[in-house]
Chain A
Amino acid sequence: MRKEALDCIEELVSKNPKVCIIGSDLGSGTFAKTLKSHPDRVLMEGIAEQHIIGFSAGLAANGFYPIIHTIATFLTRRCYEQIAIDLAQQKLPALLVGAGGGLVYSPLGPTHQATDDFALMTNIPSMRIFAPADPREVIEIIEACVQNKILGYVRLGRGGEPIVTDQMSRIDGSLSKILGSKGLYTIICTGTLLHEALQASRKLDKVGISGQVIHFPELSESDIMSTIKSSDISGKIFIIEEHIPVGGLATRVRNVLGFESEIWVRQLPSSYSENYGSQKDHWLKWGLTADQISSWIKGEL
């Protein structure tokens, strides 16, 4: 997904003279094409996250749309106040594109594990938060953000994700998507865990348990509200998310349904991981793989 996202961003900067790319020492080869073709608007800045946000705000104040890209934890933690004040409080638009969302950078340790990114960005007024599931969706989101000059944060997946969102139905003109029909369960998810959710659903289908999967590529309570109303969610609700308990998808669903509502949640703990390994290793530890999800649901029904 990252490659497709960066290709899309490079295409946008080539087409639109108001788009700028701001990187923070991203490594050789990143944005190589447009660093050459548009060196004035594709800027590989130093390792200075606080600066690049304020700098981008200055560009935005002059009508430009900065797309800021670096590792998700650096982009959401180090420069939080710059995002809050320089961008959000001043009502200046920019797109923050975080590499290595969730546990993608698991082997690199807690400094690189972006498991609290939704929560941090949630507290920024007007910030829209996106967690696409596949390359098709990330392109759709980035293009929409540029077109509408949205202040947004995009959590990127690891790469190599197959396109699955084209098999799903879009809900009510939002980015939200649904697959399956009313049945015994509804899985609610965001980001690349959609792939696990869809596989889990297929496994359940095979044993005669029908249900639906709803994917929210934007963590938006209004989308959740309209989706729940329009799709007439049935059966037990199971939420899976690659995020700490507060400030992510489950929090939003609870806000919409009420804290007394009966929902089942699997997510990451509120602690820094003591493990390295792969993203998949962590999903396995916390019961977020397709096999574990299908067994969990079967067990609860």
Chain B
Amino acid sequence: MDSRSKTLREKVIFVAEHGQRGHLPSAMSLIEILRVLYDEVLSFDVGDPWNVTRDRLILSKGHGCIALYVLLQDMGFFELKELENFCKFEGKLGGHPEYHVLPGIESSTGSLGHGAAFGVGHAYSSRLLGKDFQVWVVMGDGEMNEGSVWESLMAASHHGLTNLNFIIDANGKQASGDSSAIWNLGNLKNKIESFGIKSYECDGHDVIALENVFKQMISDRQPSCLVARTTKGKGILKLEEEASWHHKSAISSDEVATLRKNL
């Protein structure tokens, strides 16, 4: 893990420390995916965050929002104090993202299976507006249990939305345990490919591989999807191994210290 990935993860812990809660492992598995998108791929202007030509990033797996908040703050969309107010009564950043509460937050998610359809609407809008922007929808592999996602994959394919890119943070785990034990989806890449979506698979923590695939996805002449193989809780053994950390509340200062020490 390089220093940038480590720094971002430290900030995830910082947010959880202030909010004393969060879906930490789900955020940790997303770090490299979001980092590469914001650092290398997405087109945006923090001074004009809702410009119609911006690329859209919809975090459909809203419970991974701490990673999104950290990246948005790191990019300068909002001040550090917003992170300090995570989940606080007067705070703007909640345990799941809310559309427009702060610049850069493109959708209200938290109930799974919503982001794909919203992304199809954005991608189709670019055609109607005559504006050339990319739409990225980040989902979880557990989220692929939702039937609505597959409705939207069919629609994306039917409409030939070449500017629509799905990413599945395939960390192999969901709230109750291993995703394959809950519903074994088989070969996810092939399944998605069979819906008419150009599909890829790579190590979701390998920043070079991610950048290469993302650039390929943009140049594809059909909607595309990356199944990014990740580790839930990546970087902290406790988060990787203990399912009870899926969502944790009342996180103590001792627990925070342990997380920091073990990163």
Contact = CB atoms under 8 A, between A and B. Distances in A.
Interface string B65-89: 0000000000000000000000000
Interface string A78-104: 000110011001110000000000000
Contact of B121 (A40, A54, A85, A91): A54
Contacts of A20: 128
A129 B61 CA distance: 32
A56 interface: yes
Interface stretch (A2-10, A41-49, A274-282, A288-296): A41-49
B108 A89 contact: yes
Given A48-B151, A82-B114, A85-B114, A61 B128 contact: no
B105 to A, nearest CB: 11
A52 B117 CA distance: 7
Interface in B100-141: 100, 107-108, 111, 113-114, 116-129
Interface of A: 20, 40-41, 45-46, 48, 50-64, 81-82, 85-86, 89-91
B118 A57 contact: yes
B99 A62 contact: no
A27 B129 CA distance: 29
Contacts of A53: 117
Contacts of A61: 99, 118, 121-122, 125
Given A50-B151, A54-B152, A55-B155, A64 B117 contact: no
A134 B107 CA distance: 38
Nearest to B148: A50
- In the A-B complex, the 3 residue pairs with the smallest Cβ-Cβ separation, listed nearest first, are A58-B121, A54-B117, A62-B125
Q: For chain A, what secondary structure do more than half of its interface residues adopt (helix, strand, loop), or is it mixed?
A: helix
Q: For chain B, what secondary structure do more than half of its interface residues adopt (helix, strand, loop), or is it mixed?
A: helix
B52 interface: yes
Nearest to B119: A58
22 contacts: A40-B128, A41-B128, A46-B154, A48-B155, A50-B151, A51-B152, A51-B155, A54-B117, A54-B120, A55-B117, A57-B117, A58-B124, A59-B121, A61-B99, A61-B125, A62-B125, A62-B128, A63-B129, A82-B148, A85-B111, A86-B117, A90-B100
A90 B129 contact: no
Contacts, number: 96
Contacts of B151: 46, 48, 50-51
A35 to B, nearest CB: 15
Given A48-B151, A55-B152, A40 B111 contact: no
Contacts of B128: 20, 40-41, 59, 62, 64
Contacts of B108: 85-86, 89-90
Contacts of B120: 51, 54-55, 58
Contacts of A60: 121
A54 B125 contact: no
B122 A58 contact: yes
Interface string B145-167: 00110011011001000000000
Given A51-B148, A51-B151, A54-B148, A62 B117 contact: no
A78 to B, nearest CB: 10
Contacts of B121: 54-62
Contacts of B52: 62
A82 B117 contact: yes
Nearest to B135: A58
B203 to A, nearest CB: 30
Contacts of A89: 98-99, 108
A278 to B, nearest CB: 34
A262 B148 CA distance: 47
B155 A45 contact: yes
Contacts of B116: 54
A61 B127 CA distance: 14
Nearest to A60: B121
B108 to A, nearest CB: 5
A64 B113 CA distance: 23
Contacts of B100: 90-91
A41 to B, nearest CB: 7
A60 B158 CA distance: 20
A258 B104 CA distance: 45
B154 A58 contact: no
B111 A48 contact: no
A60 B124 CA distance: 11
Nearest to A20: B128
B161 to A, nearest CB: 11
Contacts of B98: 89
Contacts of B155: 45-46, 48, 51, 55
A64 B154 contact: no
Contacts of B124: 55, 58-59
A59 B125 contact: yes
A16 to B, nearest CB: 13
